[in-house]
Structure 1
Amino acid sequence: MVYKKIEDIDLIDIQKITDPRGNLSVIEGDFLPYSIERVYYLYDVPSDAYRGGHAHKEQQEFLIALSGSFEVVLDDGENKKSITLNKPNKGLLIPTGIWRELENFSSGAVCLVLSSGKFLEDDYIREYEDFQLFKSS
């Protein structure tokens, strides 16, 4: 199985329609390389807390900072990269086999996640040592 490397992951522009009454961003059609099966969002995260701390065997996720900002620390088993999400018209596509941690949430930050799969505990790799074994197999 081939997994993306950390250098392949970066922010993706989401269509933004500018209007004096307010902006509108749209995700539709084949914008994502998968069908959206689950939508959830994180909010009221204390600034000193972190979320994530896992990887997925099959599931892909697209993260958007709808409000505020937070950092996503990505790890492909060999290299790490930190990306700040702080604009609602930019998102981060995280492919399978990438460890992620979300941290440094600003006050009022909201993280929207568009997932390729429904919740399935067996798809999660929650221990970093297990992630390293998964990557080496």
Structure 2
Amino acid sequence: MSYINLEKIALKEIPKISDPDGRGNLSVIEKDVLPFVIKRVYYLYDVPSDSSRGGHAHIELQQFLIALSGSFDVVLDNGKSRRSITLNRPNKGLLIPSGVWRELENFSAGAVCLSLVSEVYQESDYIREYQDFLNYSK
């Protein structure tokens, strides 16, 4: 496997419809927003600010993360370099391809992280040990 270029991983705009009467915004995720069919949805909340989540990579699964409320940082690692991206807008998401180590940290109070993924849960798709990921990514 070759290294994933982390610079190509960027926030993706989610279409936003603003109400002309000032009643708020609506964002829609349809088939043209994501390069995969959503097979699983889950969300993280009440994560203490000094805790981290993630700490793994996937062999096949792709993941789209959205900060529905509050903010958090996503640290991406391709086995050669690291990059941190802050999510703090509900109309922007982060598409993480397979083969990238991810860690979520620095959760603000009230942060909610929505995760839309391309596969149902399969433990065999996870790489949970960082050294195993380094061996896999070479």
Scaled by the length of structure 2, what TM-score is found?
A: 0.96
Superposed counterparts of 1:71-82, under 5 Å: 71-82=73-84
What do the CA deviations read for 1:60-111 (whole angstroms, capped 9, x no partner)?
Answer: 0000000000000000111110000000000000000000000000000000
Hey, what does 1:132 align to over in structure 2? 134
Over the matched positions of the two proteins, sequence identity in percent amounts to 68
In the alignment, which residue of structure 1 is the partner of 2:104?
Answer: 102
Residue 97 of structure 1 aligns with an amino acid whose one-letter code is G
Distance 1:29 1:36 in 2: 9
CA distance in 2, matches of 1:89, 1:123: 29
d(CA) in 1 for partners of 2:25, 2:32 = 22
SS across alignment from 1:113? strand
Cα distance between partner residues in 1 of 2:32 and 2:11? 17
Maintained 8 Å contact 1:65/1:86? yes
Question: Residue 10 of structure 2 aligns with which residue?
Answer: 10
Q: CA deviation at 1:3?
A: 5.5
C-alpha distance in structure 2 between counterparts of 1:133 and 1:112, whole Å: 30
Report the Cα offset of residue 4 of structure 1: 2.8
Query: Secondary structure of 2:65's partner?
Result: strand
SS in 1 for 2:90: coil
Q: Once superposed, what is the RMSD of the aligned Cα atoms?
A: 0.9
**What are the equivalent positions in structure 2 for 1:7-46 lying under 5 Å apart?**
7-19=7-19, 20-46=22-48
Equivalent-residue separation in structure 1 for 2:69 and 2:134 (angstroms): 33
- The alignment of Structure 1 onto Structure 2 pairs a total of residues equal to 136
Shift of 1:16: 0.6
- Structure 1 unaligned regions, length at least 5: none
Q: TM-score, normalised by structure 1?
A: 0.97
Moved over 3 A (4+): none
Query: Residue 105 of structure 1 aligns to which amino acid in structure 2?
Result: F
Match of 2:121 in 1: 119
Question: C-alpha displacement at 1:33, in angstroms?
Answer: 0.6
Cα distance in 1 for residues equivalent to 2:39 and 2:125? 14
